[in-house]
């Protein structure tokens, strides 16, 4: 059982042997851009620990606006250097220290329907600024499976070769982000890897928390999007670190998610068994869903170590004990691309 946020953060930030081996081969400092969000703090601490385990003293630097002081404190007490910066301002990006290794996590999703221009600026303009600043670095950039079309639920999910068909302005702006990294990689020879993530989960946020909370609170669960992909955030962190060694020009593309298409009905039923509550469902499963096939990522970097079943059990315990959450629903049910 994971009983506290300290335990949870420690688990998410604990490097694997493979992480340490990868950091042993990495040369130079690492900077994470947009590191104050949901994944950034534990990814940065994981990198610091992996470098320490590899006997390396290269710097790990985390740049963000830091709306959460707790995130910044977690980083600094773990040996990660922090820089407060509003990355949408070119002058702020220009003053960042040089680093041969970059993990790009900045982006905007929720609120896009109400302020599309800011979403496009964050997701399409900022990558161009970053690519010019770090043209001599290798860059792992987070993208999203939202740029794929909805596919038949029995298909196994979209692969990296599936034609792209983003629905809505958020997804379109994510594709624009990828095109900026692709353009500057080709123009400057910058090695890049694009991670199409869909979806990272832990106990404080994510698809499984959304489903489990609705079961626990006896609220109806919309089945229209009947299948989802999930990956434990710690496993996603591990892939992001080890992907630095795979960057190339033109960019490499990897889908990043778990190995299965997970039934929303099944996940809700498992939560119901644990809670002793009969889930309330509404609607019917559509024949299509937003699903990614991460077989290529698993072939190159291995299977996730934590299963969806384990995360369901952890999340159920967290919900039942009233554990804190980020209060940020994923809206995984959305099918029109409006976030």
Domains of the chain: 5-320 (3.40.50.720)
Give 56-75 pLDDT, tens digit per residue: 999 999 999 998 788 898 89
> Distance (Å, rounded) from C-alpha 326 to C-alpha 310?
21
- In the numeric block, the tokens 């299977």 are attached to 303
Over range 125-141, report the average pLDDT: 98
Q: Residue 112: pLDDT above 70?
A: no
Provide the pLDDT confidence category of residue 338 given band limits of 50, 70 and 90: confident
Tell which residue, 174, 155, 154, has the closest CA to residue 164: 174
- pLDDT value for 68: 78
Over range 123-152, report the average pLDDT: 97
Q: Who's near 255: CB < 8 A, 6+ residues apart?
A: 145, 157, 158, 159, 160, 196, 198, 292, 293, 294, 296, 297
Using CB atoms within 10 Å of the CB of residue 60, give its burial: 0 to 12 exposed, 13 to 18 middle, 19+ buried: buried
**pLDDT over 70 percentage in the chain:** 99
Give 291-331 pLDDT, tens digit per residue: 999 999 999 999 999 999 999 999 999 999 999 999 989 98
- pLDDT value for 158: 98
- In the numeric block, the tokens 């159920």 are attached to 316
Q: What three-state secondary structure class fits 327?
A: coil
Over range 104-122, report the average pLDDT: 87
Residue 145 DSSP symbol: G
- pLDDT value for 334: 86
- pLDDT value for 1: 85
φ/ψ bin of 178: left (φ > 0), alpha (ψ from -120 to 50), beta (otherwise): alpha
Q: Residue 113: pLDDT above 80?
A: no
Compute CA 116 distance to the chain's CA centroid, rounded to the nearest angstrom.
Answer: 21
- pLDDT value for 300: 97
Give 15-57 pLDDT, tens digit per residue: 999 999 999 999 999 999 999 989 999 999 999 999 999 999 9
Average pLDDT in the chain: 96
């Amino acid at each position: 059982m994971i009983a506290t946020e300290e335990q949870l953060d420690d688990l998410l930030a604990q490097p694997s042997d493979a992480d340490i081996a990868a950091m042993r081969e990495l040369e130079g400092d690492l900077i994470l851009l947009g590191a104050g969000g949901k994944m950034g703090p534990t990814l940065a601490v994981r990198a610091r620990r992996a470098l320490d385990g590899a006997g390396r003293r290269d710097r790990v630097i985390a740049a963000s606006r830091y709306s959460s002081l707790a995130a910044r404190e977690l980083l600094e007490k773990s040996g990660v250097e922090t820089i407060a910066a509003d990355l949408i301002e070119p002058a702020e990006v220009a003053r960042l220290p040089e680093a041969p290794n970059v993990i790009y996590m900045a982006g905007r999703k929720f609120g896009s329907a109400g302020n599309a221009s800011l979403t496009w600026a964050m997701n399409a303009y900022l990558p161009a600024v970053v690519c010019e600043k770090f043209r001599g670095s290798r860059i792992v950039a987070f993208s999203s499976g939202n740029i794929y079309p909805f596919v038949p639920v029995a298909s196994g999910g979209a692969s990296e070769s599936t034609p792209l068909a983003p629905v809505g302005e958020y997804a379109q702006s994510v594709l624009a982000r990828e095109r900026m990294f692709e353009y500057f990689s080709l123009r400057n020879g910058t090695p890049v890897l694009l991670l199409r993530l869909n979806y990272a989960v832990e106990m404080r946020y994510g698809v499984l928390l959304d489903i489990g909370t609705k079961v626990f609170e006896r609220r109806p669960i919309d089945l229209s999007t009947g299948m989802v992909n999930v990956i434990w955030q710690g496993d996603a962190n591990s892939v992001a670190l080890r992907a630095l060694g795979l960057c190339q020009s033109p960019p490499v593309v990897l889908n990043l998610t778990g190995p299965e298409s997970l039934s929303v009905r099944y996940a809700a039923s498992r939560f119901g068994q644990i809670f002793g509550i009969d889930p309330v469902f509404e609607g019917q499963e559509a024949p299509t869903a937003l699903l990614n096939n991460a077989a290529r990522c698993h072939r190159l970097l291995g299977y996730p170590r934590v299963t969806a079943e384990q995360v369901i059990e952890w999340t159920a315990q967290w919900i039942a004990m009233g554990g804190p959450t980020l209060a940020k629903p994923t809206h995984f049910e959305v099918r029109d691309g409006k976030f």
